[in-house]
Structure 1
Amino acid sequence: MTRAAVLGAGSWGTTFAKVLADAGCSVALHARRPELVETIARTRENADYLPGVRLPAAVRATVDPAEALDGADVVVLAVPSQTLRDNLAGWTPLLPPEASLLSLMKGVELGTTKRMSEVICEVTGAGADRVAALSGPNLAREIAEEQPSATVIACSDTERAELLQAACGTPYFRPYTNPDLVGCELGGAVKNVIALACGVATGLGFGDNTRASLITRGLAETARLGMALGADVTTFAGLAGLGDLVATCSSPLSRNRTFGEHLGQGMSVAEVLQITKQTAEGVKTCRSVLDLARAHGVDVPITEAVVRVCHEGESAAQMVREMMSREAKPE
């Protein structure tokens, strides 16, 4: 039986722990708060993030990372992307030396502009062939409710990707493999930024034409950046590109879209943060994506607009006016 450790007990980490257990794995779910661990053990439910979803008996929660990681074949990293480096510093001495390291995170690190797999390799010293990323249209609540969904496991080592595929495949969760780690990670990170823009548009009262335009042009700037970094352009037409983008930009379950909607309704970033329980990765990642794009000479106008609204005090209405008044050009 595959032994998996899931580090991070938010909605997606908890959901993926359930997926792994349903696929036949023994799963240790690491949470920081003892009271959450106690509640999961007593009620079989993570009421903070997934109320009403019963966790399988094969999922055991623990506050001790050493206990969670002991003997793990697969280590799943499911913490907010900007906290990964600090968390890994404490976890690295505990990592089993041959375990696969699977990232569920969708972000680009502030300051370094490194993708999550690059941070993992740098901090842990693991070879790139041990590190994989999971990305796709994976809204946690729907998967926790066992609604059919597909995903991509990206890894340079095809055999390892296939082992991870087998470890998390269930009747309701269908994983595909892809060797394009760069493209899959970028698709997952940038889609959160585009979803913020779609949320802003929704908050301003705009409809489907606006959202479709943002999704399409957002996909174009994601693909431009990906190609500049060596990604396979076909990745962006798949689950980790268009699939994830459509789901995140369209669903009210999307944290980033919802965050953007509040901004479009006139709230400040600080006000939205006060009422938001879960992390909207795009709020911080938009700055690192913009830095990455500028370093490679890539034009990313939607990302630039989101940065202006989230970090430079520009109003949502002004953002739309500026985007619509850009110089006309061929598509």
Structure 2
Amino acid sequence: MSAVKQRVTIIGSGNWGSSIARVCAQNVKKFPDIFEPEVRMWVYEEKIDGRNLTEIINEKHENVKYLPGISLGDNVRAIPDVCQAAKNANILVFVLPHQFVYKVCESLRDVIDKDCRAISLIKGLDYKNNNLLIFSEEIEKILGVNCAALSGANIASEVAEEKFGETTIACKDPKDGEIFVKLFHTDYFDVNVIGDWRGLQVCGALKNVVALGAGISDGLNYGNNTKAAIIRRGLLEMRKFGKTFFGGVHTETFFESCGVADLITTCSGGRNRKVAAAFISSGKTIDEIEKEMLNGQKLQGTTTSQEVYHFLSARNMTQEFPLLTAIYRVIYEKAPPESIALDLRTRLNE
């Protein structure tokens, strides 16, 4: 472990970014011999009641827009300029919507030190040139640093309220795993480290798509039996997708917190499920419902659903993943919502 004290910067400040900043702020105080006491958090500047959000966070130690009522800690400092926030950082924690990753990383390319390490908390895959890319690997390419990944059954508000849960960290270098355990593990946020960073991120992306299916089922009032079938079939398709298209993916990863546990909690209480359930009876587009319900935050499942469908279509393999395909068609092609269950039944009877 490095003798240089580690400076931590959170790249992102939504509800999950704010929650994880709070965890890090507690742990840097717990290990003063390892970490600098201040946790910097890049905040996309916006006005709240005529004041800058960064000013409010630094005064109240609370993200009043995305995590109201929760103290982040007096050692979290909000900074509106991403380059200033990342300057001299030894650890970058990426927790922002995946559509902003490339622009932010390009701006940081000449700012960060080469001894920096990164970790991605981004739930998604990137679709480019008919391929799906892993975000930790993309961050590594742009910045030239090691990038681990964290994912698990982690509803942000519950982590912020210190309700017990587990998470999974995947990294190539065991030494990175040691320092990330110190940064993220708490009595209420239990960390397990594995080596399968691709499997972890496939789980983190696809579980949001399956959660849309769970929401469609709830919107139709189909009950728990149908939702359980969607979750089970979703887990099978997630595993098949990972092992078919990404080298080095392990079946065991799908039984970690980043796999089945995250799938269950997202299908029970996540925003993708909630918005999809409202979409069914609304007569509106999924984008309109998102704007009405999420206070400026973005769904990850809808974008990933489009990317996965186009990826499979380019390979003539949509029929191999009937649930993922049915979810896309209900959301974007006005297919009957009932096809969620009908397609499952047809597949199971083959």
TM range (shorter): over 0.9
- 8 Å contact from structure 2 (residues 290, 299) kept in 1: no
Structure 1 pair 135–327 and aligned structure 2 pair: CA distance change class (3 A): closer
* CA–CA separation in structure 2 for the residues paired with 1:296 and 1:244: 29
- Superposed displacement of residue 241, structure 1: 0.6
* CA–CA separation in structure 2 for the residues paired with 1:49 and 1:200: 26
- 8 Å contact from structure 1 (residues 226, 233) kept in 2: no
* CA–CA separation in structure 2 for the residues paired with 1:169 and 1:29: 19
Q: Give the one of 137, 143, 149 matched to 1:124.
A: 143
1:227 aligned partner, one-letter code: K
Could you say which residue in structure 1 is the equivalent of 2:291? 274
Q: What secondary structure is seen at the aligned counterpart in 2 of 1:211?
A: helix
1:286 matches 2:289 = no
- 8 Å contact from structure 1 (residues 113, 291) kept in 2: no
Could you say which residue in structure 1 is the equivalent of 2:268? 250
Aligned residues: 324
1:224 aligned partner, one-letter code: K
2:118 aligned partner, one-letter code: L
RMSD in angstroms over aligned alpha carbons? 1.8
Structure 1 unaligned residues grouped into runs of 5+: none
* CA–CA separation in structure 1 for the residues paired with 2:64 and 2:177: 32
1:234 aligned partner, one-letter code: E
- 8 Å contact from structure 2 (residues 41, 79) kept in 1: yes
1:321 aligned partner, one-letter code: L
* CA–CA separation in structure 2 for the residues paired with 1:153 and 1:273: 29
Residue identity over aligned pairs, in percent, reads 31
Could you say which residue in structure 1 is the equivalent of 2:43? 31
Could you say which residue in structure 2 is the equivalent of 1:6? 10
1:21 matches 2:25 = yes
Could you say which residue in structure 1 is the equivalent of 2:49? none
- Superposed displacement of residue 148, structure 1: 1.1
Structure 1 pair 167–193 and aligned structure 2 pair: CA distance change class (3 A): same
Higher alpha-carbon deviation: 5-14 or 164-173:
164-173
Q: After superposition, where does 1:118-197 map in structure 2 within 5 Å? A: 118-126=137-145, 130-197=146-213
Could you say which residue in structure 1 is the equivalent of 2:32? none
Question: Deviations for 1:282-318, whole angstroms, at most 9, x for unmatched residues?
Answer: 1001122234455495822111112112222324234
- 8 Å contact from structure 1 (residues 200, 265) kept in 2: no
* CA–CA separation in structure 1 for the residues paired with 2:344 and 2:184: 41
Structure 1 pair 182–262 and aligned structure 2 pair: CA distance change class (3 A): same
- Superposed displacement of residue 75, structure 1: 0.0
Could you say which residue in structure 1 is the equivalent of 2:91? 74
- Superposed displacement of residue 13, structure 1: 0.6
Q: What secondary structure is seen at the aligned counterpart in 2 of 1:46?
A: coil
- 8 Å contact from structure 2 (residues 44, 80) kept in 1: yes
* CA–CA separation in structure 2 for the residues paired with 1:301 and 1:121: 33
* CA–CA separation in structure 1 for the residues paired with 2:64 and 2:324: 34
Q: State the TM-score, normalized to the length of structure 1.
A: 0.92
- 8 Å contact from structure 2 (residues 207, 262) kept in 1: yes
* CA–CA separation in structure 1 for the residues paired with 2:288 and 2:40: 35
Could you say which residue in structure 2 is the equivalent of 1:305? 326
* CA–CA separation in structure 1 for the residues paired with 2:195 and 2:310: 25
* CA–CA separation in structure 2 for the residues paired with 1:133 and 1:70: 21
* CA–CA separation in structure 1 for the residues paired with 2:24 and 2:272: 26
Could you say which residue in structure 2 is the equivalent of 1:45? 62
* CA–CA separation in structure 2 for the residues paired with 1:265 and 1:280: 19
Q: State the TM-score, normalized to the length of structure 2.
A: 0.88
